[in-house]
A and B are shown apart, each in its own frame.
Chain A
Amino acid sequence: WAAALEGLFSIYKPPGVHWKLVRDTIETNLLKGINAAPPPAPRQRVQFLAEPTSVVAEGSNELTLSAASVPALAHHPLVSGPEFLHIGVGVGHRLDVFSSGVLVLGVGQSNKALTDLYRSHVTRDYTLEGELGMATDNFSHTGRLIERTTYDHITRDKLERVLAMMQGSNQKALLTYSKVDMSTQGAYELAVKGELRPDGKSPPIMTGLRLLHFQPPHFTLEVQCLNETQRYLCRILHEVGLELRSTAVCKGVRRTRDGPFTIQHALTHQHWTSTDVIQAIRQYRSSRKASKAKHTQPGKDTGTASQRQEMAEEAAVTGDSHRLHSVLTSKAFGS
């Protein structure tokens, strides 16, 4: 059981639920599955009983003791309780109550791998749904309304221009935070492949921004970013509205990808049982092994160099320039 449960898996967190509740539900379900194993045979202990009166003659000095094997109740499951009372289930990048989407969880030893995953700059994909014409205090449509504006003047063209401008500024930020000398050939090659990443701590940076759907007042953006929080993304939408001389609020934040975990394999809430979780972990492990077998690149020792290697692996496996497979090579994932 323990070996089968060690690993990472992703679930789809529904909106309106705190991530802690989700994590607790999954822990409870895993414990139910583990404790459902049939209890071991009861241990026996030997007890010496004196012979009953009828057998022993009055006044005789003979001692007669019979041995009887009696079940030892101290280890009965009703006395000792369930075998496991706690499983360490760790959560990756958290999702707040308002947003939904892919949430990575790890069980047991793989929790260490989680921290590695998030220290290496993993990108995440979000789908943001926005509504023009309103401004609230917490940038989402559930907040207190502050301002209403008109949005008739906004066209798709203007919106895309604003988005391009934002992407440009983010790209510049990325360049500065990656601490790579801009005048080198190496830097150019990295930038061409799209493998530039910030070195160390950085503020939230968007590496990709795209307009998916525009139907005033509603519009949908797709964002790829690093180091973000959901509140930051809602603020982005608000700023988009401001740039367009109007206002906008966020109606939904949905994470479609978190590092190598896509929405395709995420478990919906009816599948949060131990059997499904074990299957998901097995699937993740097999996909990891498959991608490890593909890459036979020699390991590089510098931090940035290994990161670039990870970028390359990510890009190669998923065919998209922003996927990361550093998890595959890092030692913490070794089973």
Chain B
Amino acid sequence: MASAAAEMDLVDILDASSGPIDIARYVDFVRDPAAGAIATFEGTTRDTFEGKLVEELRYEAYVPMAARRLAAICAEARGSWPLLRLAVAHRLGTVGVGEASVFVAASAVHRAEAMEACRYLIDEVKASVPIWKKEVYENGEVWKENKEFLERRAAHHEMDPAHELKETSNGEE
């Protein structure tokens, strides 16, 4: 059952030479005669951050692990909602202002599930998929850090008994 569902998930990590995300490809992938709804999300490069002018974003990824995580996230979404088809595309390399870095599409019989799954997918990309972006300004550049990742990491750290043991017993378990 899991592998049959996986055929209805399209995950693309697009290398730097791929050019802009072909949005229609992903919307068409999830289009389904049984679907009453297609929900989509597009993440775009914005031109300012904290008053600084952003020239571009540059993305890189741990590609095999990112692909693995995206497939797992799609499977998780299917475990939570009745869904028809899913597509996630993330672009690597330079993404200019106004351009899409990530695109998510989900189809379902009803709109509530499609929209919730779409949100879940992008939230999970932000929290757990090993992709990084560098924000480039006129006079500098900085690796960004998703607060979703930091929050999840902090929560796991508190729950990890090994971590606490390490702190109280000098590195030995």
A and B are partners in one complex rather than unrelated chains = no
- Residues in B lying within 8 Å of A, measured CB to CB: none
- Residues in A lying within 8 Å of B, measured CB to CB: none
